[in-house]
Structure 1
């Protein structure tokens, strides 16, 4: 019987290892010439981002190769964020500060801020970034050029994730693992089907016409997971979307410790894996490939399964330019990811609301 279990673990490990090897060859950095007349609006929703906003703006204003404007939406900050933006805007006319109206009923905070940002934008391309993202100097040019070359409505990528604490190391790397190891095509446009679409909410560039044609952020006003939902919406409406390798385009430090990372991933888990139907399947798929083989050693099938998943993790870490020390924490990262998802599902079934940035949100209906 234990031999049968070892073969199952072996089979569960082959899938992400093989798919990951394919996706690592398919997904590359953005390439293409900037279209004539392009103006990239770099749009930044900010709520209590005093520690981040100045560095974010400095990187945004250092863009080369394409005309830009930078619009910051202050969403009820209490920590001096708007004062910092006003000071920078006084010295550089490319920067504008706008104030978010009161949050209407039925909207999540970030979606409302992004919708109002799009209304204020003048560009041909909308590049939404979080305040903790630092764009590389040619990021806007590269993304807009790639969008034109591939005829995309949306291009997105996962920035290089900066991790300095163990709490970040056992949470953040799962983003790229799931994207590379479990999404057929890795988000490339040729896959076409909405179910194979993905995006990263930290950095998303839209072609203005495509964004407006689907209703912008107003079409997804309740979501907390716009990276995933927007890519699927655009594909469902006939627009092409694509993931590019983002580690050379931008950097981001999402969280500072384990508690912050736990809360951050918990808030949107219900719109990802944490559904009553999906989570049991994901638990078998992830635990079966990445954790179960440890308990089946010394069976050779289990040893090879572990070699495959650790090899995949090493390859992803190298490509994404993540810290190599996080590889040793890989089994813990998988366990923590499943714990976050199950916690989110249980909290939903108990009627609990998730909170972020001082706001509480009802989770989406169970599916």
Structure 2
């Protein structure tokens, strides 16, 4: 068999892997339906650093929660804008809202983990719901998250909000979160196994039982991390506390980054805790480039030079499989159609971000986020 046909066959196999696993995962990845006990109470905890553009909407949405008793605690993490002023004005009108000030950031801590650890100590209720300041909860989100947590045995549950995108750069890269999650994480294994290797969460929206959180060491156990979506559920699993995921598309929404610069910086800051390690990134490059980009390159070559018919057929099937999966996700999670149709371009950008982050780490250059610099680290992991 000619080499190009073998290459096309490999591309098809790599394209069918996420499609097949993704179809299975889509059956398991659902909006929570369990109801919490009548006396359930939730502390909604929001770390905020220079969030004047988003904090009012986030707080108002959290205060609109229904079906459970809530308190909302905002921790102002030494903002230099009007964040504290805005929250203070809202708190004057609603006693369920409190504004607190973060202690000084200790050496070795990342800002968000330190803020979340402080928030957990300030919370009054047994269920802690950590959300980012750019997340908007639906009125039933806290109730659904609390129900999902208390109905099972997991100590941590996390939902992926609807990811809003406003620019092409956002539409190309941000929806790939669902491609990686549903195309490459076996959710059956996540629910049947307590292995930290199956850990996954979305740092934008995480609910925990207070007792399980304390047993896992809280955010202090991941003090240096910039990727709590991976490292916090791993900490829970290491002490025997289960973790689970649910679809929060209809329960919350978030525009996590705005424009090309924020997309690159945001995905770069914690890359070395996920894909961008010397061991993991070559594997991810094979999976993503081989399954989502290579088929289109082969079809492009076929338009220029004659290729074996079998190779063209295999490449076309691979391209169709990858595009079908991406379009299914776009429909299910209300994502940009343009971003889906340009899926191979998004994959190339994602890989460029990861390789750039790995090279930055190898050179000892720090990651920067929210005006703070953090030493780069390389750990074996997966998104």
**1: CA distance, partners of 2:293 / 2:254:** 28
**2: CA distance, partners of 1:306 / 1:200:** 29
Aligned to 2:333: 320
Larger Rg: 2
Which one of the candidate residues 105, 116, 128 is aligned to 2:107? 105
Q: Cα–Cα, structure 1 residues 348 and 186, in superposed 2: closer, same or farther, change >3 Å?
A: farther
Structure 1 residue 191 displacement after superposition: 3.9
* 1:192-231 alignment runs, 5 A limit: 192-231=194-233
**2: CA distance, partners of 1:254 / 1:143:** 20
* 1:323-362 alignment runs, 5 A limit: 323-362=336-375
1:48–1:77 contact (8 Å) kept in structure 2:
yes
What 5-or-longer segments of structure 1 have no aligned partner? none
Matched, 1:182 2:190: no
Structure 1 residue 323 displacement after superposition: 2.2
**1: CA distance, partners of 2:188 / 2:166:** 27
**2: CA distance, partners of 1:198 / 1:4:** 34
Structure 2 residue matching 1:70: 3-state secondary structure: strand
**1: CA distance, partners of 2:235 / 2:220:** 12
**1: CA distance, partners of 2:335 / 2:61:** 20
Structure 1 residue matching 2:16: 3-state secondary structure: helix
1:62–1:137 contact (8 Å) kept in structure 2:
yes
Please provide the CA RMSD for this pair: 1.2
1:41–1:70 contact (8 Å) kept in structure 2:
yes
Farther-moved stretch of structure 1 (310-319 vs 89-98): 310-319
**1: CA distance, partners of 2:190 / 2:196:** 11
Structure 1 residue 231 displacement after superposition: 1.0
**1: CA distance, partners of 2:207 / 2:70:** 13
Aligned to 1:13: 15
What 5-or-longer segments of structure 2 have no aligned partner? 303-311
1:167–1:259 contact (8 Å) kept in structure 2:
no
Q: Cα–Cα, structure 1 residues 312 and 212, in superposed 2: closer, same or farther, change >3 Å?
A: same
Q: Cα–Cα, structure 1 residues 342 and 19, in superposed 2: closer, same or farther, change >3 Å?
A: same
Structure 1 residue matching 2:62: 3-state secondary structure: helix
Which 4+ runs in 1 deviate beyond 6 A? none
Which one of the candidate residues 259, 262, 284 is aligned to 2:261? 259
Structure 1 residue 332 displacement after superposition: 1.0
Structure 1 residue 330 displacement after superposition: 0.9
